[in-house]
Chain A
């Protein structure tokens, strides 16, 4: 009987496992000896092994006209393959979007990473360009709850891949069930998740594909750690073509539309903001508490896209508590997993949680929470039995939550009230002595003052929150404009990318990062600045200081945004004639600017302001060095009129 050449097969397969090309060749020569024909045939096999456009690796399809066409798809898994600096060790997961591998990175540092190889979709051509456009925004994200995306590229056959931080754990829903977390614990896991999403939103990134499998939770030293994966991936992977909706793409690439917001299914589809993520979070929370997806029994897989869209856009979601009460007792593990009985669970969800979850899932996003922070705050209010924002103007529920919060004192107060009313029927005033009154009045005054101060600082804090959410909203509007201009920007980027690799690469990087930063961060600074201008003189400084605090928390010590705030603070202090304080702010701003933009025009401005503040303190010598330095810089500017005038004003004083 004829068989394949066993010897040839053995040498070929052994040779494949030898990584070094030289050693591999040595091995073949040694094995084949003088048998040149065998050696050549094996060499042919090895060469063909590298070929990645063989029909066997493609997906074949038939058309009604009888044509056979093929789509390149690496059906064989990539274990053992090296992509760039990453050696894929083994497959650790597989999903609608692609396969995930455990990989070893060798250069520039040795570490284990996760590599996600995306399925070859419809529009992966511009993937790398799009990813590079996103990279700056991704780099700004630094939160323990968000997995870092290190790198991206494309395989030889054009499949895009992402290199990510390696995380272990279970999808959030699986984790909560396996660990049998009760509702309160589930909410606290969810709140951690909200923090991470909030962070990303503040950096101007929307996830757009939040779903349980993208949220990995582990237990670490008794704490629940959640990690959001695939941030920025949805956007980079789904480039837009006019008229193409997320729905068509997601249906093909991702699969389950249970977490997809109505606006994502829109034919226009271009207009998405953070409230898209709020919707998905609501859908996840729904599932966490009820154990069922929002459109239960809806088998999307069997439906066409039009009817999927209709369901998402029009079918209202029932109250979570109603869902649980309707669940047949065939699913007792839902209660067991939540350490609860059906009755308890229904009662637990009815009211607040119903309202909070449904508010997230509103079809009209204007009716949803406008930020994730609002959602998280409402959940916290619910956990501390305060009135939630989702239930507005409902005095009964307010009293109910007040009663829950202070059951004991509530009963006592009610009893005292009744007693007092009864007592007032008698002559009651004489029961109090005059000095008691005075004492009480003074105590009341102190208390009132304290309350006033609290209220004031709360007002400022609220104002900050409002500004922040406004800012984020503005930022998104900006981003939306940016999305619309994406085509133009991508073309610009690809032009930069076409510049010779070695030449101008620093310039290219600068260009891209500058573009992104100017779009995102400076808008925030401007907005904060213009909002603060409307404030009263003194409130201004207080607010600016608060903003400064926030920015320091957000951006660290050196950031142009901080410099900008410092400049504004310095200006305010100068107006207040506190030159010492002003100089302090300007000095710090100058320090930051020198570090980040040594040749910026704004740096000259700050330099002049500092000189101004120093001169007002009589520190002329130090001021002079700054003035001279500024003068030299101004002379180099193409259009220095404004600065020259200022220089002149200050020097003249």
Chain B
């Protein structure tokens, strides 16, 4: 049994905390695979974080202890790990390009469409953090889906909300995040 599986079962039994015990393990592992993949693959290769999470799950937990609870705890922790990796990756890129001024993150550089995706991603992450302060559940739902690659209803189930509520929360959070980002951009 791998460490991850052991901890997951401990989490399920209420003996451990997913964030404290599971996150570092999964984070290290995801980062290792991501770097390995990005280093080895051809130039045009890109890595999809959500696919990576699923792959890590299959490797670390596998089909043997594939229960709903295990899956939920794993994805909960892996989502946060993946978010950190992705955002680090984006920030590093921006530091190289813009001389390390993290505050310039909000300035959408229209003349530079190549990095628009990076900017958008960082803005989205900021907006999600903002939402988290106001409504933790909705932010969590968005993260599980966007960074963890979970299906919306599965993410809802993990958070203990019904499919209908998940749909509604998603719709509101999605519109709210967009409005928040556009408001941030309008401020001088």
Contact = CB atoms under 8 A, between A and B. Distances in A.
B170 interface: yes
A496 B84 CA distance: 51
A36 B47 CA distance: 46
Interface of B is mostly: helix
Interface in B43-77: 43-50
B1 to A, nearest CB: 22
Contacts of B13: none
A78 to B, nearest CB: 12
Contact of B135 (A4, A16, A75): A4
Contacts of A79: 167
Contacts of A41: 179
B86 A62 contact: yes
A56 interface: yes
A60 B93 contact: no
Interface in A63-81: 63-70, 75-77, 79
Contacts of B175: 12, 45-46, 48-49
Contact of B120 (A12, A55, A62, A65): A55
Contacts of B182: 48
A66 B171 contact: no
Interface stretch (B2-10, B20-28, B99-107, B138-146): B138-146
A92 to B, nearest CB: 14
B177 to A, nearest CB: 7
A228 to B, nearest CB: 29
A54 interface: yes
B146 A68 contact: no
Nearest to A42: B175
A44 interface: yes
A76 B38 contact: no
Given A41-B179, A64-B38, A68-B118, A9 B174 contact: no
A59 interface: yes
A2 interface: yes
Contact of B171 (A13, A63, A64): A13
Contact of A62 (B49, B170, B179): B49
B81 to A, nearest CB: 14
Contacts of B145: 75
B110 interface: no
A67 B43 CA distance: 12
B114 interface: yes
A3 B135 contact: yes
A2 B92 CA distance: 32
Which of A3, A59, A62 has most B Cβ within 10 Å?
Answer: A62
A61 B120 contact: no
A442 interface: no
Contacts of A639: none
Given A4-B135, A4-B138, A64-B43, A54 B170 contact: no
Contacts of A70: 117, 120-121
A54 B176 CA distance: 12
Given A56-B124, A59-B48, A70-B117, A3 B134 contact: yes
Contact of A66 (B43, B48, B93, B178): B93
Interface in A138-162: none
A424 interface: no
B172 A63 contact: no
Interface in A26-68: 41, 44-46, 48-49, 51, 54-56, 59-68
A650 to B, nearest CB: 71
Q: Which size bracket describes the interface of B in this complex?
A: 35 or more
Contacts of B43: 64-65
Contacts of A13: 168, 171-172
A128 B160 CA distance: 41
A322 to B, nearest CB: 28
Interface string B108-147: 0000001101101100100000010111001000100110
Given A60-B49, A68-B89, A2 B39 contact: no
A4 B134 contact: yes
Contacts of A16: 171
B117 A2 contact: no
Contacts of B50: 59
Interface string A391-420: 000000000000000000000000000000
Contacts of A55: 117, 120-121, 124
B145 to A, nearest CB: 7
B41 interface: yes
B12 interface: no
Given A45-B176, A76-B152, A63 B45 contact: yes
Given A3-B134, A77-B152, A62 B38 contact: yes
B34 interface: yes
Nearest to A44: B179
A56 B121 contact: no
Given A4-B138, A41-B179, A66 B92 contact: yes
A67 B49 contact: no
Interface string A1-20: 01110000100110010000
Given A4-B134, A55-B120, A56-B142, A66 B179 contact: no
Contact of A67 (B48, B114, B177, B179): B114
Which of A46, A63, A69 has most B Cβ within 10 Å?
Answer: A63
Given A68-B90, A68-B118, A62 B46 contact: yes
Nearest to B52: A62
A55 B142 CA distance: 12
Contacts of A67: 93, 114-115, 117-118
A225 B93 CA distance: 58
A63 B46 contact: yes
Contacts of A45: 172, 175-176, 179
Contact of A69 (B39, B46, B176): B46
Nearest to A70: B117
A12 B172 contact: yes
Contacts of A56: 124, 142, 146, 174, 177
Contacts of A61: 46-49
A95 to B, nearest CB: 14
A54 B181 CA distance: 11
A2 B132 CA distance: 11
Given A62-B89, A67-B114, A75-B145, 8 more contacts: A4-B131, A4-B138, A44-B179, A49-B171, A49-B174, A54-B174, A54-B178, A62-B34
Interface of A: 2-4, 9, 12-13, 16, 41, 44-46, 48-49, 51, 54-56, 59-70, 75-77, 79
Shortest Cβ-Cβ A-B pairs, 7 listed: A61-B46, A66-B93, A45-B175, A48-B178, A68-B118, A64-B38, A55-B120
17 contacts: A2-B133, A3-B134, A4-B135, A4-B176, A9-B172, A13-B172, A45-B179, A48-B174, A56-B124, A60-B48, A60-B146, A61-B48, A62-B34, A62-B89, A66-B93, A68-B90, A77-B152
